[in-house]
Amino acid sequence: MQFLQGLLLASSSILYVFFAYYAFRHREVPGAISLGYLMLATVIWSVGAYFEIFASSIEQMIFWRNVQQIGVFGVPMLTLSFAIKYTLNRALSKIHRFLFVFPAVINLLIFTNGYHHLMRSGYDIVENAIFGKELVVHATAFDTMLVGINFVIPLLAVALFFDFRQKIGVAYKRQVTLLMISTLYTFLVTALKMSVLSSIGIYISMSVLYIPSAILFFFSLFRFDYFNLAPIAYNKVFDVIHEGVVVINKRMRIVDINPFATALIASEDKIAVGKDINACLKASFQFELAALSGQMTTYNLSCGDNRMIDMTYHPIIASENIVGAVLLLADVTGQKEYEKFLIERAYQDGLTGLLNRFGLNYFHDKHEGYQSLIVCVLDLDHFKSINDQYGHLNGDTVLIQFSDMLRETFTDHCEVARIGGEEFALYLYDQTLENAFERADTFRKRIDNHVVFTEDGNAIHFTVSIGISISVNANEPLKLIIARADEALYAAKNANRNRVMLYETNIANH
């Protein structure tokens, strides 16, 4: 029977070496490296057990039993390491390397036990009910405590698998379920060995008892294509996509976040797993999962550094209930600025920078509810003769200076536009007709006294005629108001120009 156990140990070692080799060949898959080391730790455990049962002295048996402890305390921690990587748990990934301090310290204490006796108080060789002689270790209370801690570590891996299973699609649930069963098997068989088999004198190496668990573990990975590109693609896309990805649970806590989202969200509180999404976003509204529908929803956020962010909410639904959400965040500052630029180009006059006719209509359509609306149409008198006498470049200079003076003069409750070659419009709101007339006439006098000097020293004098019309009701189309102001402008032109005229009343300024 001793030969049979040796054969099982040798066979299991070969199996574990194959699994380790396969895992390391696919090291790019999340968790594969941890899985490879897990199998190597099991190989050490099996090899140590093999040489122990064929050792010729108690000293050799003690040595090989100590060698086995590398696997005994390494396997549970490496199982947890694999679970952390497999479930893409980014919070624990940052600290998982420190977990190996625990088995390293324990193994150091075991191999130096002869100096301090903290771990073992003695050894006996007993008869194994099935396999012959067996080395029995008399553990100290400290060693028993450490073994107990080591004993429950696989349960932490099971908890990670269980939590991960709640978040993934049906296609991967079976694989995770088999991994959970395999890990639970190691816990249960360890409990069986310690509480039942050892008490009745049956000493079977745990590395032998673990063979079904390892086979089930790798069966689940092979059966559901763990080693294909899907996990790699998921992990890579999540990390490098130029869109912020945040996963939240039903308590509004962040459960996962990619680097782009971390860099994107400007917040006094550093955004991180476990934090409240509302505290990190600092939006003008409170994001509440229960208040949202099961459909995709888009929000606009404004960051403190004047960046605009589009946030798209995708619900995570389980059993017809929303259990969380995936938030996709995109920096649209450049897009919004470009849209603003296009609007400005579409609605602005290229020469003067004033609104054009389309821009004036846009402003009128966007702003409603004025108590009064007055439109003045202004036209430079004899502008054609200015172009003919001084050239179009100087004519443009006249238009630019005239526009600048309009912009400087009419700053409050007013929009200024160039609606034709030398024709301009003032859009005056929430002021009286008398005040509008007075402001227009003051500006006319200012133009009458203004001189534009050309580069060759010529002085250009020009005047302006102005027609004024007031809206008859709040819903009146702007083009009708402008049309009446145009009629008043023609009346001013016919009355020898350089004057302000009101529509219908034909009151001229003297």
Domains, in order of start, for the chain: 2-233 (1.20.1070.10), 241-335 (3.30.450.20), 348-502 (3.30.70.270)
The per-residue pLDDT for 267 is 56
Which residues belong to the active site?
422
The per-residue pLDDT for 508 is 41
Could you tell me what percentage of the chain is helix, strand and coil, using 3-state DSSP and rounding each to the nearest 5?
Answer: 55, 20, 25
Distance CA 282, CA 277 (A): 8
Distance CA 337, CA 320 (A): 40
Helix ranges (H only) for 193-228 are: 206-209, 211-223
The per-residue pLDDT for 506 is 46
145 phi, psi to nearest 5 deg: -65, -45
The per-residue pLDDT for 129 is 53
Question: What is the CB neighbour count within 10 angstroms for residue 345?
Answer: 9
Record the pTM: 0.51
42 close to 207: Cβ distance less than 8 angstroms: yes
Per-residue pLDDT of the chain (510 residues; tens, 9 = 90+): 567 767 877 887 888 898 889 888 887 777 888 889 988 998 998 898 888 888 888 899 899 989 989 988 998 999 999 898 888 787 787 777 788 899 999 999 999 998 999 999 888 877 655 556 677 888 899 998 998 888 888 899 999 989 888 877 666 788 888 888 888 887 787 777 766 655 665 666 666 677 787 788 778 777 766 666 555 566 667 777 778 888 888 788 887 888 888 877 755 557 777 788 877 776 655 666 655 555 555 566 655 556 677 878 888 776 677 778 888 888 877 777 777 777 777 888 989 999 999 888 888 887 766 778 899 999 999 999 999 999 999 999 999 999 999 999 998 889 999 999 999 999 998 888 999 999 999 999 999 999 999 888 899 999 999 999 998 776 788 899 999 999 999 999 999 999 999 997 544 443
Distance CA 5, CA 26 (A): 32
The per-residue pLDDT for 228 is 62
Q: Which of 385, 352, 355, 384 is nearest to 367 (CA)?
A: 355
Work out whether strand 132-139 and strand 423-429 pair parallel, antiparallel, or are unpaired.
unpaired
Q: Is 151 exposed, middle or buried (0-12, 13-18, 19+ CB in 10 A)?
A: middle
94 phi, psi to nearest 5 deg: -70, -25
Q: Which of 206, 76, 92 is nearest to 150 (CA)?
A: 76
Distance CA 352, CA 233 (A): 54
266 close to 305: Cβ distance less than 8 angstroms: yes
Residue 396 CA to chain centroid, in angstroms? 51
Question: What is the CB neighbour count within 10 angstroms for residue 232?
Answer: 15
310 close to 329: Cβ distance less than 8 angstroms: yes
The per-residue pLDDT for 104 is 93
Distance CA 478, CA 360 (A): 9
The per-residue pLDDT for 281 is 72
Kindly state the greatest CA–CA separation across the chain.
130
Distance CA 258, CA 114 (A): 49
DSSP state of 200: G
406 close to 443: Cβ distance less than 8 angstroms: yes
The per-residue pLDDT for 335 is 77
The per-residue pLDDT for 500 is 96
Which helix (H) or strand (E) segment holds residue 287: the answer is none
Cα–Cα distances in angstroms (integers) from residue 386 to residues 453, 454, 462, in the given order: 12, 12, 8
